[in-house]
Amino acid sequence: MELRITTLIENQGDDKKSLLYEHGFSLYIEFDQKKFLFDTGQTGSFLENAKKLEISVKDIDFFIVSHGHYDHSSGVLDLMNLFKEKKKMYLGEGFFQEKYKILEDGTYKYNGNSYRESDLLKEKIQIERVTDDITYITDKILLFKNFHQTWELEHLNPKFYLKKGVYLYEK
């Protein structure tokens, strides 16, 4: 059983300076006879990198978006336009909740997804909400959430806020 992970986009360029990069993240993963994406970056640039790397992203079995910040999820709209058949999109319960970041001057900047759930084409995407601490995608591919934070660096950024009603609350 072989695991292959290819970075499609991240914050820094590659050694050959042939791939695009941006503040964002996207991985192409092959494992257990499945092909899938983990995150989609902040733009559709990961798709151009996939072409350069000769990876057919349209043929993935499913995709996972780790959380609803723009730099991990905004490429979804470009991705779904490639699909000819419906693909499962795994995401957490609070994925579409509005997210903000407090700036140095005390103002807030929107930091969440660039789209709403209603913007996703239902004929191309089937949303699978991850509600359990362990979700089995296959018998060998599992998603985990709600694990214990051990180190100081794992604490949530105090600059990030969630919108609940008309108020912003620290995460």
Q: How far apart are CA 160 and CA 171, in angstroms?
A: 6
Q: How confident is the model at residue 170 (pLDDT cuts 50, 70, 90)?
A: low
pLDDT at residue 2, as a whole number: 93
Q: What is the mean pLDDT of the chain?
A: 91
Domain 4-92+117-147: state its class: alpha beta
Q: How far apart are CA 24 and CA 12, in angstroms?
A: 10
The structural domains of the chain, with segments of one domain joined by +, span 4-92+117-147
Whole-structure pTM over 0.85, yes or no?
yes
Helix (H) or strand (E) holding 77: helix 76-80
